[in-house]
Amino acid sequence: MKRTFKYSRIIAGTMTWGKWGKDFNAKEMIALMNHCVEFGITTFDHADIYGDYTNEEQFGNAFSKSGIGRENIQLISKCGIQFKTETRDNRVKHYDYGRDYIVESVERSLQKLRTEYLDMLLLHRPSPLMDPNEVLEAITLLKKEGKIRQFGVSNFTPSQIRLLETVVPVEGNQVEYSLTSNSVMYDGTLDDCLSHGRMAMSWSPLGVYFKEGTEQTKRIKNVLQKLSAKYGVTEDQLLLSWILKHPAKVYPVVGTTTPKRLESAIKAIALELELEDWFLMLEASNGHEVP
């Protein structure tokens, strides 16, 4: 099935823009938004829970003053996770995919983001109590009212998507995918995206490479140092290029808030890894040659 996706190939992840990270003020958010757009990063990834349910409002307030036209960007957001936090009267962390809750969550996100629609809504994580018919009713209403344009999921397995697709089409899946965490290449997740024309998105696309000094990351570093010299690029560009080479046409959701690293991420799109170099990186990650 062929679908059209009008999103920037590199997506700006906003999880650390607010309370859970840099805690930017409006002026700083506006500057970062404009920097992203200037360099071709026009898609911004949100979730209602980010910043304990505060990020969307901070982003929306800044966006309303940024001078950026809504038609020039794309907004993705997620719903379904219920946290125990001061802003919610929850006794336990849980998931809610009832019709009314999905609709109410989207309406709250729209109000906070200062927009009339989401380009794509994602269900944040699968719930064992998810009723596909409840989801169908919510998505049908939201699309009819023009409040969402596309519908997808995040962290869902192919079988969980098949369950949903007994009643409602699923247009995207955002999953953890990086050189250091690449199980979705083998468990059918990326195969499912490729064979059904879903938009595959990768959260944490750099994995733990810059965070952990494990035997795995040391092996990868030995390879990346040689490839950096060969291609004249940075290590983060190599890691992104490795993801971008997959035929599922994965869209990395880049969480950095550093302007130069965002520019670097965009430049990774033009980097074409040679086939054997791609497998050298995979071998370094796995610690053995492919079977």
Neighbours of 260 (CB within 10 A): 10
Domain membership of residue 279 (yes or no) is: no
Answer whether residue 223 is part of any domain.
no
What is the structure's pLDDT at 57?
Answer: 98
For residue 1, the model assigns a pLDDT of: 63
Q: Which among 261, 254, 282, 262 has a CA at the least distance from the CA of 174?
A: 254
The yes-or-no verdict on residue 87 having pLDDT over 90 is: no
Domain count across the chain: 1
- Assign residue 243 the CATH number of its domain: 3.20.20.100
pLDDT digits (tens, 9 = 90+) for 147-173: 999 999 999 999 999 999 999 999 999
Enclosing domain of residue 41: 11-211+236-271
151 φ/ψ angles, rounded to the nearest 5 degrees: -130, 135
- The overall average pLDDT reported for the chain is 97
Domain for residue 36, yes or no?
Answer: yes
Question: At 88, is the pLDDT very low, low, confident or very high (cuts 50, 70, 90)?
Answer: confident
Averaged over 256-269, what is the pLDDT? Answer: 96
- Residue 130 included in any domain: yes
Compute the average pLDDT of residues 61-69: 97
> What confidence category does residue 2 fall into, taking pLDDT thresholds of 50, 70 and 90?
low
Candidate list 50, 97, 177, 251, residue with the active-site label? 50
Tell me what pLDDT residue 89 has. 87
pLDDT at 86: 83
Residue 30 lies in a domain: yes
In a domain, 1, yes or no: no
pLDDT interval class at 267 (50, 70, 90): very high
Residue 194's identity, in one-letter code, is L
As a whole number, mean pLDDT of residues 16-31 equals 97
- Do the strands 81-82 and 94-95 form a parallel or antiparallel pair, or are they unpaired? antiparallel
User: For residues 163-190, b (16+ Cβ closer than 10 Å) or e, as one string?
Assistant: bbeeebbbbbbbbbbbbbebebeeeebb
Percent of the chain with pLDDT over 70: 99
Region 27-41 average pLDDT: 97
The answer to whether position 217 is within a domain reads: no
50 belongs to the catalytic site: yes
In a domain, 218, yes or no: no
Computed on alpha carbons and rounded to an integer, the radius of gyration of the chain in Å comes to 19
